[in-house]
Homo-oligomer: A and B are copies of this chain.
Amino acid sequence: MSAQAMPSPTHPSPREMPFEEIDRIVHVAQAAAEAWASSDAGSRSRLLRELAAALENGREQLVALANEETFLGAPRLNGELDRTAFQLRAFADAVDAGEPYAFIDDPAVPGAPPAGHPRLVRVTLPLGPVAMFSASNFPFAFSVLGGDTASALAAGCPVVVKAHPAHPRLSAAVFGLALAAVREAGAPQGVIGMVEGASRDVGVYLVRHPGIAAVAFTGSFAGGAALQREANARPVPIPFFGELGSTNPIVALPSAIGAQGLALAKMLGASIAQGTGQFCTSPGVLLMLEGDATDAFIRELAREMDSQSTHAMLSPAIRSAFDHGVDKLVRHAAATRITTGESSADKHPVPNLVALDMDAFLAHPELREEVFGPSCVVLKAGSVDEMLAALRAIGGSLTVTVWGAEQEDADSRRIVRQAAAIAGRVLFAGVPTGVAVTRAQHHGGPWPASTQPHTTSVGLMAMQRFLRPVALQDPPEWMTARAGVPL
């Protein structure tokens, strides 16, 4: 999603936490793990609701701090705070409905196996302390009290937050409110901890820590893949739930652009530039069939993108990576830049639309890499087969959007199948930016979009990442009598 930025002159360097202090924080989380794992629904939902209220009560100060550190602007940050409080309460509701305590009860069947069997009760138990790596680009929703934290707490796991170095003051302020909410709710001390540091060492130390049972990560491909290797290389490997990055192709078929081309081009242009393109679901590839209508659509899209205003990017490191990524595209022999805005170091980044030759796109993996920011590649395909080849080459993506598949025919079926084969979410209307927090959401997708494509980091199913099934065979009465409290 975004680089774990290094400190820079315009960003105050966050405190580099000594390893002994990280040890203490993880140990407190471990000490809280058993009590939190056996906590009842009321205790968990009380904490989640206190946390939501804490964010809302602190709104004025928090949004101002977030804006100073991220430049995302008050309207977006207020909306993101709303969403963060909403998802804390959504998980509270799920806990109150008993979801983390759900079990499957297979009564004993008399007789010889294979049909006969003892009673088996399949419960799900929390994994233990979760290391949660905040993202730079969602200072509320994928940060200290974001979806990973909410879902892990709901599952019964303490959380050790790795604060993002791009917004250290906001992280500290939210964490302070969280600690007060933990006390207010009567939850075990240590159920939320936070470590700080911009160095790679702090993150690696946390992932390697024997007291950590699982990792949730949202960030860059390079950073996530490196931490995943650390998780796999531990003496006892642990689950690593990483959301790493995505190009989010848009397939605009002729029937869609014929009917509503102008409106779609405007919507797409706004989506690419929104938040200066700093979304993991920002559209990075536009795939269309050759033709006059396509050329008109692209002209309209470029016009719309040129008209969009942007703001400063999250950090100088992210800005520099964006400029570098755009440069790599624009300078390629197979590229034609379509937008006309001129970027320069002393201005905000300008949206970038580049047409690439299909053969070059298929041949050169570096042209398919995510450019984090307001940049999109246009590909004109000579056939549906070429479109399918492009989707296959793009590979794992959080989303694919297909406009114009309303009629069932062989081509639309092939395109939709290929889209579903590489994506965690397939959209048939609208744009992929904006991820609904609901039960059917799936924010994941085949590698490298996510490291565990069966799981989601947004929506109510996110809690399942932190619950591990255990079958109880012939359990004593006392163990199953108290429905709603595990063991």
Contact = CB atoms under 8 A, between A and B. Distances in A.
Interface of A: 34, 38, 79, 82-83, 86-87, 103-106, 109, 113-115, 117-118, 120-122, 125, 128, 232, 236-239, 395-396, 405-408, 413, 416-417, 420-421, 423-430, 434, 436-442, 444, 446-448, 451, 453-454, 456, 461, 464-465, 467-479, 487
Contact of A439 (B106, B406, B420, B423): B106
B473 A408 contact: no
A403 to B, nearest CB: 10
Contacts of A427: 473-474
A395 B213 CA distance: 13
B104 A86 contact: no
Given A436-B118, A473-B430, A420 B125 contact: yes
B476 A428 contact: yes
Contacts of A395: 236
Contacts of A121: 440
Given A113-B83, A420-B487, A487-B417, A120 B436 contact: yes
Contacts of A453: 239, 468
Contacts of A413: 487
B120 A474 contact: no
Given A114-B82, A114-B87, A118-B429, A442 B471 contact: yes
A-B pairs, top 5 by smallest CB distance, nearest first, are A117-B436, A408-B478, A122-B440, A86-B114, A442-B471
Nearest to A428: B474
Given A120-B441, A430-B474, 6 more contacts: A87-B114, A236-B448, A239-B454, A426-B470, A428-B475, A430-B473
Contacts of A487: 413, 416-417, 420
Given A236-B396, A239-B454, A417-B487, A437 B470 contact: no
| Identical copies of this chain, number | 2
A106 B438 contact: yes
A473 B86 contact: no
A439 B104 contact: yes
Contact of A118 (B122, B430, B475): B430
A138 to B, nearest CB: 13
Contact of A446 (B105, B428, B451, B468): B468
Nearest to A238: B447
B34 A417 contact: yes
Contacts of A104: 439-440
Nearest to A464: B454
A238 B476 CA distance: 40
B118 A425 contact: no
B472 A426 contact: yes
Nearest to A454: B468
B428 A472 contact: yes
A313 B395 CA distance: 46
B114 A83 contact: yes
Contacts of A467: 454
A453 B465 CA distance: 11
B461 A113 contact: no
A440 to B, nearest CB: 4
A114 B406 CA distance: 27
A421 B128 CA distance: 9
